[in-house]
A and B are shown apart, each in its own frame.
Chain A
Amino acid sequence: MSTSFSPGTTPPADIRAEMLLGARSLATPAPPSEKRGITSDLSVDEALLLHAAGWEPLDLVCGVAVVSVPVGVWNWGRGAISLASDAHDQAVDQAAAQLRGECSKVHGHGVVGVRVEVSVRTHHVDVELVGTAVRPISGKDARGNDAAQAMPFVSDLSARDFTLLQRAGWMPVGLAFGASFVYAPRRTAGTAMKQTRQNVELTNYTEAMYSARESAMEKMQRSALHAGGQGVVEVKVTEGPMSFARHAVGFTAWGTAVRLVAEAHQFVQPQVVLPLDDAVVTFEAESLRGSESKGRRR
């Protein structure tokens, strides 16, 4: 399609017609992948693994949503800031819906390796999801149904994790997200004075933070159930004061919802291997203790 201008060429006479053409091409499904090649951010290993498992990558797809947060919600108050968490949920839902839409357009059955970027600002929440659309080469899903009929799944699992999970009889169904924002509690000056020299638990603080964290996780659970998941793996929790309002604390919890599609869990029967890489030869205590856990140990 000739929508790009190189300097020096005259702009098309009928811009409106050009735009309509562009819009139409965005709305119509892309030609099948064998006719136009594929785009993906998978590594060579991952692409090979996918093919070995009977799947193929199709296209890089993305979903973006920006949702405004009402003015003034970050000001001092008490308890949960529900307007902010509503905006967050809405932004995530919209971005995921857009991602699914793009995935369907390229005839994908799902999106793997989704990179999730969420930023919460004073006046808006913006969510960016970028991943690779994939589909089974046979066009049939694990149960032999036509893959195109089902709702495309969205998952932040890498292609490697995706194939592994599939081999065990599970499939990702979608991203499960939950967020909650809360105002920092306060102590009266008198209480603070009394507690200066003491070792004491601050029960009201504890409860406020505890509840907020639980409520983020509960929302995540609810969204997993809504997507038809039986479990959520690789749950990540982030938390901390908002950069623009230190007295407001935000919690998010998210992961990939999965469900068992096979009759029963297929055991993978791991084998004990001794890799002979240089990396292991140069003795490194951390590698022996399973650095797989991704910075879990700090």
Chain B
Amino acid sequence: MTEQPEVPPEPVAHDLPKDAAHRLEELEHGLFTSDLSVNEFLLVKEAGFHPLGFVMGSSIYHIGIQTRKWGESQELTKLTEAMYTARELAMNRMEEEAEQLGADGVVGVRLDVNYYEWGNDSAEFIAFGTAVKAEDGTSYRNALGKPFTSDLSGQDFWTLMQTGHVPQALVMGTCVFHIAHRKLTQALGSMGQNVELPNFTQALYEARELAMTRMQDEAGRLNASGIVGVRLEEKSHQWGSHTIEFLALGTAVTKGSGEVTLPKPITIISLDN
């Protein structure tokens, strides 16, 4: 049932533009950049990592056309594939930038989709994050030997590390679903009544489940022990109200081997209002 490509597209080696190489070379001379706030910066340091640089990847992707049946709920596999592949391309490029900096991982990853007026049926998929490296030289690369990625903020990253878990990768599942329109007779039949609309419920339910299953499959491939901070986003993008993309995103984590003693939280009553 997984229509999402089983294996993410193979990253094309060294397809970063020249300007990226320039910028990253400069970063190797001791300057770091990061979109972390001061709090996050200090917490990442506290967790034993040093930020290396702000990294990103982008892909402008033309999304194909798939015909939908007016009265039938169905997954639009071609669109699902486009949304997935384009995001993977952007994320791979971001990882490639991190790799070039010799990073152990990328924290605070954000995924965005931009539309430009001049790009018909195309969208720009962008991934941003801060590449970090462990200060004690331990390698934190994930099961695939790549730098880990995570959409956790600096605060969450520190807390996660305190619990003895290590982020593996940002995992995602997506599903573009066309939800059937109701027939006129159905609409008339339920007018003025309190009723569940089973075909809508079912379609939305199925689409969400598909997206989450795919996300879990990705985590499974990484031998992760769990996914934290899962978000489920719904967006119609530019397809009209009955075609919706369901995107499930989260950070796959594995439990480290070391013994952990969690600090006991101190209860405070703050004086803010």
Contacts and interface: CB of A to CB of B under 8 A. Distances in A.
Nearest to B86: A201
Given A201-B86, A217-B54, A297-B231, A224 B33 contact: yes
A265 interface: yes
Contacts of B118: 184, 186, 246-247
A253 B55 CA distance: 13
Contacts of A218: 19, 22-23, 26
A161 B39 contact: yes
Given A201-B59, A222-B26, A273-B267, A232 B116 contact: no
B122 interface: yes
Given A214-B19, A231-B34, A275-B270, A199 B263 contact: no
B60 A164 contact: no
- The A contact surface, by secondary structure, is mixed
- The B contact surface, by secondary structure, is mixed
A222 to B, nearest CB: 7
B119 interface: yes
Interface in A236-287: 236-237, 239-241, 246-247, 249, 253, 255, 265, 267-277
B20 A214 contact: yes
Contacts, number: 195
Contacts of A297: 110, 151, 231
A202 B128 contact: no
The listed residue with most A CB atoms (<10 A of its CB), out of B27, B42, B46, B63, is B42
B19 A211 contact: yes
Contacts of B33: 217, 220-221, 224, 231-232, 235, 255
A44 B19 CA distance: 45
The listed residue with most B CB atoms (<10 A of its CB), out of A224, A274, A292, is A292
B23 A209 contact: no
Contact of A202 (B61, B264, B269): B61
Contact of B267 (A199, A220, A239, A276): A276
Nearest to B81: A199
B210 interface: no
B23 A221 contact: yes
Contacts of B264: 272
A273 B159 CA distance: 12
B266 A271 contact: yes
Contacts of B122: 202, 205
A214 B17 CA distance: 9
Contact of A231 (B17, B32, B108): B32
Contacts of B65: 196-197
A249 B23 CA distance: 20
Q: How large is the interface on A (under 10, 10 to 19, 20 to 34, 35 or more residues)?
A: 35 or more
A201 B32 contact: no
A88 B110 CA distance: 27
Contacts of A217: 23, 33, 54
B58 interface: yes
B140 interface: no
Given A210-B20, A230-B30, A200 B61 contact: yes
Contacts of A269: 46
The listed residue with most A CB atoms (<10 A of its CB), out of B26, B27, B63, B264, is B26
Contact of B268 (A192, A201, A205, A274): A274
A215 interface: yes
Nearest to A191: B62
B46 A270 contact: yes
B42 A168 contact: yes
A59 B93 CA distance: 46
A197 B64 contact: yes
A104 to B, nearest CB: 25
A264 to B, nearest CB: 11
B229 A164 contact: no
A271 to B, nearest CB: 6
A157 interface: yes
10 contacts: A157-B38, A165-B42, A205-B119, A213-B56, A231-B31, A232-B31, A249-B116, A272-B263, A290-B153, A292-B153
Interface of A: 157, 161, 164-165, 168, 184, 186, 192, 195-202, 205-207, 209-211, 213-215, 217-218, 220-222, 224-225, 229-237, 239-241, 246-247, 249, 253, 255, 265, 267-277, 289-290, 292-294, 296-298
Top 4 A-B residue pairs of the complex, sorted by shortest distance between their CB atoms: A161-B38, A214-B19, A205-B60, A231-B32
Given A161-B37, A268-B42, A274-B267, 5 more contacts: A165-B42, A202-B62, A237-B35, A270-B43, A272-B162
